[in-house]
Amino acid sequence: MTSPDFMYPQPTDDELAAQQPRTPALGGGAAGAVSLPGTGRSGASTAPGASAASGAARASIAADSGTSAASAAEASIVEENRQRLGKAALVVAIVAAGLSLISSIILGATIGPMQASSGYHFTDTPGWYQNLAFVLFGLQALGAALGITGLVMGIVSAVTGRSRTQGIVAMTITILAPFVSFAVFMVLSFTSA
């Protein structure tokens, strides 16, 4: 292909093809062969040192294919680990919300009847109920710790793009769970009295 402007000569198709890198796709599978456009034929490279360069190119391609297989396996492992962070954040958030909600339901449903039978002071209640209340408050603390962990994992998952949707859902659950749990506790403690 030449330019219609004869003042500035352009390289021909053969010159452009000779400047292209030697790849199996361009060389038709043989290193050093160049496909000539429009002819369907391929010509051999005639540059000095082409055979040494083609041998080095073949070795490089063989090394790259082994490296690319290993890097593809590593990439799939990395992608699987990326998805695990969002899923783990979601599981931790659900467990934290579940622990908090169960503790609030049990404590809220039993505090009203216990106050009606024993009095309004916590020390007036029977010992088994005091132990139950301490265990339930401990579960609330464990749920809070897991909730903070799930929140941090969700933030990291959402920011780094590791299962972003699950990270956002985990953050939403951990933010809403304390409010829902406290509301359930309050409703049950006043209705059961």
Q: In this structure, is residue 19 part of a structural domain? A: no
| Residue 135: CA count within 13 A, CB half-sphere | 8
What number is the average pLDDT over the span 104-124?
80
- Number of domains the chain is built from: 1
Separation CA 98–CA 137 (nearest Å): 14
Task: Give the pLDDT of residue 43.
Answer: 47
Residue 178's domain comprises 79-191
Task: Give the pLDDT of residue 110.
Answer: 86
36-70: pLDDT as tens digits: 455 554 444 444 444 544 555 555 554 555 566 66
Q: In this structure, is residue 87 part of a structural domain? A: yes
- Counting residues of the chain whose pLDDT is more than 70, the rounded percentage is 66
What number is the average pLDDT over the span 155-173?
90
Q: In this structure, is residue 68 part of a structural domain? A: no
More confident residue, 133 or 118: 133
More confident residue, 113 or 78: 113
Q: In this structure, is residue 139 part of a structural domain? A: yes
Best CA proximity match to 97, nearest among 169, 34, 186, 15:
169
Task: Give the pLDDT of residue 150.
Answer: 94
Task: Give the pLDDT of residue 147.
Answer: 94
What number is the average pLDDT over the span 90-114?
91
Separation CA 29–CA 123 (nearest Å): 87
Q: CA distances (Å), 116 to each of 4, 14, 193, in order? A: 102, 99, 7
Task: Give the pLDDT of residue 111.
Answer: 82
User: Which backbone phi and psi does 12 adopt, to 5 degrees?
Assistant: -80, 170
Q: In this structure, is residue 130 part of a structural domain? A: yes
Across all residues in the chain, what is the average pLDDT? Answer: 76
Tell me the whole-structure pTM to 2 decimals: 0.57
Which residue do the tokens 């198709």 mark? 13
Q: What pLDDT band is residue 29 in, cutting at 50, 70 and 90?
A: very low
More confident residue, 40 or 120: 120
Show the tokens assigned to 18: 């000779």
